[in-house]
Structure 1
Amino acid sequence: MKAREITLIAILSASLTAGKFVLSAVPNIEIITFLFIVYTVIFGLKRAFFTSIIFTTTEILIYGFGTWLLGYYILWPMLILITHLLKRTINSEYGFAIVAAIFGFAFGLFFALFESLFYGIEYAIPYWLSGIPFDIVHGVSNFIIVLVLYTPLTKTIFVAKQKMHIV
């Protein structure tokens, strides 16, 4: 990797951390899903994947280590891979908004299944059921965020990418 590539990944990772911090006071409304979708579409699979690894590792320094963190190492790359596979067939912000909504609705279920590996299914079921209201907020807010911000942010980042001569 070149210095420019490393710097780009660091900046993208820092923007994720800043975005998470800014919205941390509002339960289950986040900008991480949206930014990973945008970064995957604009910068590609490899850069988005490395960004997710750096972002998730940085989470350890801020919030400490927990089983949830291991889920992040799976979940964010999975979103990036899904976005990468769908980006040729999705032609508008509506398609990505639907992807983000489904991701938000399924977030709690994924973590319930993941936590069941550590604590058993008898822990996972009430964990998931108690989180359904949060998952609804998560899915709806993801949909709205992507729908409203996808086009203006992708245009802005694309112009910046060209000015910085990033291929």
Structure 2
Amino acid sequence: MKFSLKTRDIAIIGIMSAILITVQVAFAFLPNIELVSLIIIISTLVFKWKTLYIIYIFVLVEGLIYGFTTYWICYLYVWTILMFFTILFKKNRSPFFWAILSGTFGLSFGLLCSIPYLFIGGVPLAISTFIVGIPFDIAHCIGNYVIALTLFKPLYNLLNWTKKNLLTQ
């Protein structure tokens, strides 16, 4: 694992973080319909461990925009979990596979985000928070699945082509 950064890497991290923030804000009016999951998956496939920098800049800016609330705490680990699952299956290029992974991630998002509530209000608060969010998790699952199935291949090809042809000069 190589974590040293070149100027080009810093520029890529900045651009990808800005893209994540932009698409998150642009789709914020839709409940749990987002492109962040797919972009993190594709960024991980193309930029590997550098995606950690992208994720944490995104999370920091999210906190600055929306506030450092309890919900923000889950962003500190939930996107990294998605990145680790992507690394685990990094050789797979099937849009169908990534749609299933992204949909499953969307469905489990509420469960993952209920973890901080275990420490705030115990098991009852964590369970009630999870149960209340199930309709949003279902929408998140469906949205992630459809978006990944539709956009995985073109976005992966675009980012991979950009890395090979524009960023290696």
Match of 1:80 among 80, 83, 88: 83
Quick check: 2:78–2:113 contact (8 Å CA) kept in 1?
Answer: no
The equivalent of 1:34 in structure 2 is 38
Match of 1:114 among 113, 116, 132: 116
CA distances 1:50-78 after superposition (whole Å, capped 9, x unpaired): 10011101112101111222211111111
Kindly, what percent of the aligned residue pairs are identical?
A: 33
SS in 2 for 1:153: helix
Q: Offset of 1:165 from its aligned partner? A: 3.2
CA distances 1:34-61 after superposition (whole Å, capped 9, x unpaired): 10001011111x2111100111011121
Q: Moved runs in structure 1, 4+ residues, more than 4 A?
A: none
The equivalent of 1:157 in structure 2 is 159
TM-score normalized by the length of structure 2: 0.93
Quick check: 2:45–2:86 contact (8 Å CA) kept in 1?
Answer: yes
Amino acid at match of 2:64: L
Q: Take 1:48 and 1:165, find their aligned partners in 2: how far apart are those partners?
A: 16
Amino acid at match of 1:93: P
The equivalent of 2:146 in structure 1 is 144
SS in 1 for 2:133: helix
Mind listing any 5+ residue stretches in structure 2 that lack a counterpart?
A: none
Aligned pair 1:13/2:17, yes or no? Answer: yes
Q: Take 1:160 and 1:4, find their aligned partners in 2: how far apart are those partners?
A: 13
SS in 1 for 2:32: coil
The equivalent of 1:94 in structure 2 is 96
Match of 2:59 among 56, 59, 62: 56
Amino acid at match of 2:152: Y
Mind listing any 5+ residue stretches in structure 1 that lack a counterpart?
A: none
CA distances 1:59-118 after superposition (whole Å, capped 9, x unpaired): 121011112222111111111011011112x24011111110110000001112332222
Number of matched residues? 165
The equivalent of 1:133 in structure 2 is 135
TM-score normalized by the length of structure 1: 0.94
